[in-house]
Amino acid sequence: MEKKRILYISQEISPFLPQSDIATTTRKLPQGIQEGGKEIRAFMPRYGCINERRHQLHEVIRLSGMNLIINDVDHPLIIKVASVPQAKIQVYFIDNEDFFTRKATVKSDKGEYFDDNDERAMFFGRGVLETVKKLGWKPDIIHCHGWMSALTPLYIKKLYHNDPHFADAKVVYSVYDNGFNKNWDSNFYEKLKFDGFDEEDIHDLKDVDFLTLTKKAIQVSDGVIQGSGQIDEEIAKAIEASETPFLEYFSEETCVKPINEFYDQIFEEEVV
């Protein structure tokens, strides 16, 4: 019997970024799941504040070289990789000089969220999916962490649903207490239409804030996990109102076993 394959798409992963609910969970969870017998791949953005030398990032030439068009502009896709030696896992980094060279993650040193975070999220999600295709690796579950990955479930379910790499994949979205307080570009809806989305799939994304984006990710995912001890009350209500299978919060120290069982539950529901 082939090992089940889990793809991790995370806004941040430790030790490449400081510890947080997302960064520590997506450092420990892939390791634990791999040690439990499943095969994993992990991706995150290559923010400019990541020290490439210290973490020994290097470009994967055979995976780089594609261009992704975002809002009618060509953006080269660069793939880098680094190891977490003590975890025996590799992390792939999505890089592009237009989106990820600035010496910050999602907001400026003044605390202001970047105006192009919508396009950065589009590029990140599509970059991961295109790279996975190039790897020839077919995931069984795609587990997304953090709002920078929140568009990815929508891409998988609506634009990549006929692609043999993703047609049978189940999507799990982990909700955290980190958000953003600045609505995305008012032209975001048109950018999604340019990408090929039907209006009926994105009609509720004409004015995107953190709540709207998160609710959409919940709506299109096959499973939802509470990634922080406390989450926004409106999001908690949206999860409760949905029929999506839900896993309550477990700390990063205790999350591996329940999440692994949650994956298996989703597999079993598919078989039934």
- Looking at residue 19, its pLDDT comes to 92
Collapsing DSSP to helix, strand or coil, 70 comes out as strand
- Looking at residue 128, its pLDDT comes to 98
- CATH code at 5-271: 3.40.50.2000
From residue 168, alpha-carbon distances to 4, 222, 242 in Å are: 12, 11, 22
Q: Are 172 and 263 spatial neighbours (Cβ–Cβ below 8 Å)?
A: yes
- Looking at residue 268, its pLDDT comes to 78
| Mean pLDDT for back-to-back runs of 10 residues, the chain (272 residues) | 92 95 96 96 97 96 95 96 91 97 94 96 98 96 98 98 95 95 95 96 95 97 97 95 95 95 85 44
Q: Are 205 and 189 spatial neighbours (Cβ–Cβ below 8 Å)?
A: yes
Give the predicted TM-score (pTM) of the model. 0.97
- Going from N- to C-terminal start, the domains of the chain cover 5-271
- Looking at residue 85, its pLDDT comes to 81
Q: From the centroid of its chain, how far is CA 22?
A: 11
- Looking at residue 91, its pLDDT comes to 98
Residues in the chain: 272
Closest CA to 227 of 149, 158, 175, 150: 175
- Record the tokens describing residue 239, joined without a space: 């999860």
Q: Are 46 and 95 spatial neighbours (Cβ–Cβ below 8 Å)?
A: yes
